[in-house]
Amino acid sequence: MTATLSLQGKRALVTGSGHGLGRAIAVALAESGADVVVHHGHSPEEAADTVHAISRLGRQSLSLQADVTDEEAVTSLVDRAAEFLGGIDILVTNAGHLVERREVRDMDAALFHRIVDVNLTSTFFTVRAAIPHLERTKGSIVTMSSLAGFSGGGYGAVVYAASKAAVGGFTRGLAKELGPLGIRVNAVAPGFIDGTKFHETFTDRSVVPGIVSTIPLGRGGQPEDVAGVVLFLSSTLAGFISGETIDVTGAQWMR
């Protein structure tokens, strides 16, 4: 068997990788041998810390800032990443956000579009810009969906859930479209991942025990749990896997 989890010599761009899930993913890729460009939207200090962690592993890394909802900024981000790395083998579109909990009946169009743009449109912009680079390397794309995308999400997260469901559909369609180019496309759908800014911001700590009680494994997930799945999907061990969404929920949700 020639498949391996080693990413030695591979080159990766991970959006939203200054902290949380993105940081764990970027570091895991570097630990397996990849050089990694770290993207951030507005957290240069955290991104610099992620770059430092990667550099300590002996891998090349660079921090780049971009608004992932801005088409030109994303194109520039991808091109600068490819120039620094000498190409792109792995793209992880981790950038995304709940933005704000709001019921649909109280939501205006501006907030709706902000949520859709940061989760779905940003994925589209990033993938589209990266396709020429990934075609040359027969690379891999991992998008970030969510348990919310198939459960409907929690209070005030209907549009977020819809945008993450759309990422799943986008991923499946892309797998068909890009497969003939040798590009694999998969999604990861995390459930409750503790220790992230997402849940620090949007989840009342008093409800966490109740959430954990619904998880058969008896604990909340950690960023490293998600990073391990991304690592697998980026490797040759997953060389014939494309168009899939892998749930990382501790059996909280099973399809």
Residue 169's pLDDT is 98
Residue 1's pLDDT is 53
Residue 3's pLDDT is 74
Residues 119, 160: contact at Cβ < 8 Å? yes
The total number of structural domains that make up the chain: 1
Helix extents (H) in 4-63: 20-31, 44-56
How does strand 35-40 pair with strand 140-144? unpaired
Residue 3 lies in a domain: no
Residue 243 lies in a domain: yes
Residue 2's pLDDT is 66
Residue 116 lies in a domain: yes
Residue 255 lies in a domain: no
Residue 23's pLDDT is 97
Alpha-carbon Rg for the chain, nearest whole angstrom, is 17
Between vectors from CA 206 to CA 201 and to CA 210, what angle results, nearest 5°?
110
Between vectors from CA 130 to CA 95 and to CA 17, what angle results, nearest 5°?
25
pTM of the model: 0.95
* Per-residue H/E/C for 160-180: HHHHHHHHHHHHHHHHHHHHH
Strand partners for 13: 37, 91
Residue 254 lies in a domain: no
Question: Which DSSP symbol is given to 198?
Answer: H
DSSP strands (E only) in 110-162: 140-144
Residue 199's pLDDT is 60
Q: Which helix (H) or strand (E) holds 100?
A: none
Residue 253 lies in a domain: no
Residue 6 lies in a domain: no
Number of H helices, E strands in the chain: 10, 7
Residue 254's pLDDT is 86
Residue 198's pLDDT is 65
Domain that holds residue 95: 11-248
Residue 203's pLDDT is 64
Q: What is the mean pLDDT of each run of 10 residues along the chain (255 residues)?
A: 84 97 98 98 96 98 98 98 98 96 97 98 98 98 97 94 98 98 98 77 76 94 97 97 97 88
Q: Which of 98, 119, 147, 160 is catalytic?
A: 160
Between vectors from CA 53 to CA 50 and to CA 54, what angle results, nearest 5°?
90
For residue 129, the domain's CATH number is 3.40.50.720
Residue 55 lies in a domain: yes
Residue 205's pLDDT is 76
Does 155 qualify as catalytic in the annotation? no
Residues 36, 15: contact at Cβ < 8 Å? no
The helix/strand/coil state of 95 is: coil
What distance in Å separates the CA atoms of residue 225 and residue 53, rounded to the nearest whole number? 18
Question: Which DSSP symbol is given to 96?
Answer: -
